[in-house]
Structures are given as structure tokens and as C-alpha cells.
A and B are shown apart, each in its own frame.
Chain A
Amino acid sequence: MNVLEVEKLSAAYRKNIVLEDISFSISQGALTCIVGPNGAGKSTLIKVLLALHPKLSGKVSFFGSDLKSVKERIGYVPQRGSVDWDFPTDALDVVMMGLYGQIGWIKWPNKSHKEKALEALDKVGMASYASRQISELSGGQQQRVFLARALIQNADLYFMDEPLAGVDAATERAIMTILRELKNKGKTVLVVHHDLQTVEDYFDQVLFLNKTVVAHGDVTSTFTSKNIQKTYGGSVRWLKEGVGIVHSPIQ
């Protein structure tokens, strides 16, 4: 059974149709990245899958059922933008929010929850920042805290929206190490990725998205200049050692 099945999904953002006839499936343990030009609908796709944005058509199933029944098995690391940075909260507090689903409504978190949260912070190397106000952290540190929050949910399927955007090199390495560990534990991870240069180093599967699925498969077979060109339409300079610059005239 595939972890995620998407059939003929489409969605609009304001007046434009940004996703059209999207169909693909993800198998368990896959570490997949979604790439495409700006405005391709990558963030929207994640939001539509998680019912955070309305869909116009199509069917989505997680672990063979609908979203509602398996919500605890899914973790989401959104883009950093949608948060209220001035809100008085520290790193530990943010990570504990990941446990709210387990704690249940109205009940208070107890000591074991706090310990779990500290462990998660330690895993991402942020244990010493536990009581630091969230707005005082750098972009990379914030991203790590949000990753810890997702990890603590102990999900089986993770969605991450540009987790490596704007983070320092050490954080990037730390995050990718954790994603590899997740994969080795049998979890599935789907990442909206912004950097073509690192696709081959970090991921096993790639999904090219530009309003619809241009190509999807193993990085070794699917990450080709042809597919890149098809997706980006000549709007990207692709440079990798030895390959040279692919440059197409503006169409």
C-alpha cells in the first residue's frame, strides 16, 4: 500500500488555477523532493493535500484512508513565514506544541512531556536554546526548532515546505542527516525543495512540478536536463561540475 495516493488533483489560488490534473503516488520510505519554478504550486500542493487549502477536484488518500482518520500519523513543517514572531514563547514551548495532539485538549503538559521536548531539541542540537525567545534565534535555529516540533509528533509521513531555505550550512547538514535517519526508520518524507544543485546529494526521488506533474521517479533516472528544461522552461541556469551550462532562449 502506498503511503500517499493522489488522483487528478486540482486547485486554485485566488483567481488562478495553480494545480491541474495532479496524479502521483509515494511509497513508504521514500525521501522525495518536489521542485519547480516559483509559482509552480509547490506550497499550494502540500496545503491542499493536508486540507489547509480547498481543492477543486481529485482524490487524496493517506495509508489507504482519508486524512481525518490518520491525522496523527502525519507531520507538517510549514514555511517559517506564517508564524507570529513577536509572540512570547521560547524554543521549548514551541516544541511542546507538537505534543498537544497527544496531551489532548484542555489538559496540562506534565514533566515527561517536557523531557520529551528537551530530547527533541537535543536531537536537532538546540538543547541549550530551550529557554530562548523564538524571535531571538537565527533562521537556521528557528528551522531546527520547528523540525524538532515535527519530530516529536512521531509521525510516519512528513511534509516539509522549503526546510532548507535561508538556513546556514551546518543546519542544512543537520536537517538532512535527520531526514536520512527518518528514512532509515521506515518513515516517508516529502520535501518542497528550492535548490536544484543539491537534489542529487540529498534525495532519492524527485517530483518535477509546474502546475502539473512533469516527471516523477528516482533521482538517478528522472533528474535529467531534459526534465529540468521541461519544468523550468529555460528559466533556470543549471550548473553542476562537468555538466556545463544549459541555457535556452526565452520562449
Chain B
Amino acid sequence: MSDSLSHAALPGVVIAFLLFQVKDLLILIIGASFSALLGAHFIILIKSTTRITSDTAMGLILAVFFGGGVMLLPIVNRTSSGNQAGLDTFIYGQAASMIGSDVFLTSVLAGFVILIVMIFFKEWKLYLFDPDFAKGLNLSLNVMNMIYILVLVLTIVIGIQAVGVILMSALLIIPPVSARHWTHSFRMMLWLSGGIGGVSGAVGTTISALGTSWPTGPFIVLTSGFIFLISLFFGTKKGLIVECLIHRKNKKEVQKQLFSPSVVKGGNP
């Protein structure tokens, strides 16, 4: 869903820019939100009225919306003047172009998202792990679905400034997947993903500052990808190296038992 909705935000950003011809964060955020929410609405509609599966519906919306947005980009090139750069920061991400009011708005939205996650912490656990049981306890799945989509869209529009629309899904997916390799606890996973996202943002932005006008998006995502590789190999709970070591240890144990002196001697005591 995060992949699909973050790509679905593109046409909203482009259209908002075409209509208002300014790089105003609030306007572009509203455009992105509107587009992503529309995408979410269609996904739900398709799932409930046709026999198309979840994955297919999401892929459909991703392709159609994103393709539509890409189609509109050349129009922006032709019609706008110097404001093109403003739009580019939304497509490719440019954290450095944020002004004071942008930071304030972003912080408020981010704070709101974090609050929602914290307040309904155990409800999220239940809803994500066992929706049938949740229904049995009277947790309204519809309400949780709506809040989930709302929070997801807000997160997408916050992140778009740093990494851009195209790479936003990477930033939604890579940090949690990396965190999963280090812990089996939901709470720890949330902290870790947040931390990894934050570190990727800081390091990626710093690296991008080494060049002139390098977009921050690609560097942030590459940093998070690097962290993912480390987690994949060295993660304490699911890392490949850890699993290999455990396997070796088990092998040794079994060899020891099979070939221990008492077995080898065999025969009459």
C-alpha cells in the first residue's frame, strides 16, 4: 500500500503546481494528499466491487496514477517559467530547499502521525496481527483502515520533501525491513525504523551537500539501502551471518554426538 500510494501522489503534485504556479509547500502537500487519497479510494473500490486481488489493484493504481503524473511533466516544462525548480524539489527531493515555515508544517504533521501511532499502539498491534480476532473484540476495522490510510498519506507528503515522490516508497519500505532483522519486538522495531530513517536522512543530506545542487533523495535512499545490507548480513535476529553461525554450531553439536568416544567404541562394554 505504501508503495502504491506514494507513487499515486505524483499527479497531485504536478496538477497542483500547474494550477497555482508556485512552489508553496502547503498547496503541493494538499495536491499530493488528494491524489494519494484518491488512489486509496480506488484501490478499496476495486477490491470491494471486482474480483481483482489486493496486489493487482495496488499495482494498477500505482501504474496508472504515476504514469499520468509522468505524462503531465512535459506540460509543466512548456508552461512554467523559473518555477520549474520548485517542482523538481518535489520530484527528486531537496531537503535543503525547505524554509522555516516548511520545517514547522512538517514537524506538526510528523508530530501528529507519531501521536496517532503511540495512542493506538496496542490497537495497531491487534489490527495488523490478527484482524479477525480484532473484529471479535469490537475493534472497527473500517475505522482502523481509514486512520491507517490517513497516517500513511501524511507520512508520504512529509517525506516527499526530503526524497521526492519517486523515491518515497523506498524510504517507507527500507527502514522497517532493515529494523526487522534486529528485533522481534514491535515497539523496538518502530524505534529502530524511525532511527534508521532519521540517520539515513541526516547522512544522505550531508553527502548531497558535497556537490552543487545534488538532490537529497537519491543519497538518502542509498544510505538507507546500505544500512539494509548491513542488517541483512549482520542483523542479530534474522541476519544471514547469524543464521550461518547458528547452522555451523548445530552441525558441530550433531557431529560431536555422533562421533563421541562412547559411540565409536561400541561393542561390548
- Footprint of B on A, CB under 8 Å? 50, 52, 71, 74, 76, 78, 82-84, 87-90, 93-94, 97, 100-101, 103, 105-106, 108-109, 133, 149
Contact, CB under 8 Å: A84 / B120: no
The 4 closest A-B pairs by CB, nearest first: A133-B184, A87-B129, A76-B136, A82-B132
Q: Cα distance A100–B136 when bound, in Å? A: 11
Contact, CB under 8 Å: A89 / B125: yes
Describe B's contact surface by its main secondary structure. Answer: helix
Contact, CB under 8 Å: B132 / A87: no
Q: Cα distance A90–B183 when bound, in Å? A: 11
Contact, CB under 8 Å: A100 / B184: no
B255 at the interface (CB under 8 A from A): no
B122 at the interface (CB under 8 A from A): yes
Contact, CB under 8 Å: A84 / B122: no
- A50 with B183, Cβ < 8 A, contacts A87-B129, A89-B129, A100-B122 known: no
Contact with A along B174-218 (1 / 0, CB 8 A): 000000100111101100000000000000000000000000000
Interface size on B, residues (CB 8 A): 26
B119 at the interface (CB under 8 A from A): yes
Report the minimal beta-carbon distance from B152 to chain A, rounded to whole angstroms: 17
**B contact residues around A74 at 8 Å (CB):** 136
Q: 6 A-B pairs, CB-CB below 8 angstroms?
A: A84-B129, A89-B129, A89-B184, A93-B125, A97-B129, A100-B122
- A88 with B130, Cβ < 8 A, contacts A52-B136, A97-B125, A101-B138 known: no
- A71 with B138, Cβ < 8 A, contacts A87-B129, A88-B180, A109-B122 known: yes
Contact, CB under 8 Å: A90 / B184: yes
Among the interface residues B132, B138, B183, which one has the most CB atoms of the partner chain A within 10 A? B132
Report the minimal beta-carbon distance from A148 to chain B, rounded to whole angstroms: 13
B24 at the interface (CB under 8 A from A): no
Among the listed B120, B131, B186, which residue makes an inter-chain contact with A89, where contact means beta carbons less than 8 Å apart? B186
Among the listed B123, B129, B237, which residue makes an inter-chain contact with A94, where contact means beta carbons less than 8 Å apart? B129
Report the minimal beta-carbon distance from B218 to chain A, rounded to whole angstroms: 29
Contact, CB under 8 Å: B186 / A87: yes
Q: Cα distance A11–B146 when bound, in Å? A: 28
* Cβ-closest chain A residue relative to B187: A88
**A contact residues around B131 at 8 Å (CB):** 82
Q: Cα distance A108–B118 when bound, in Å? A: 10
- A88 with B132, Cβ < 8 A, contacts A100-B126, A105-B123, A109-B122 known: no
Report the minimal beta-carbon distance from A119 to chain B, rounded to whole angstroms: 19
Contact, CB under 8 Å: B136 / A88: no
Among the interface residues A89, A90, A103, which one has the most CB atoms of the partner chain B within 10 A? A89
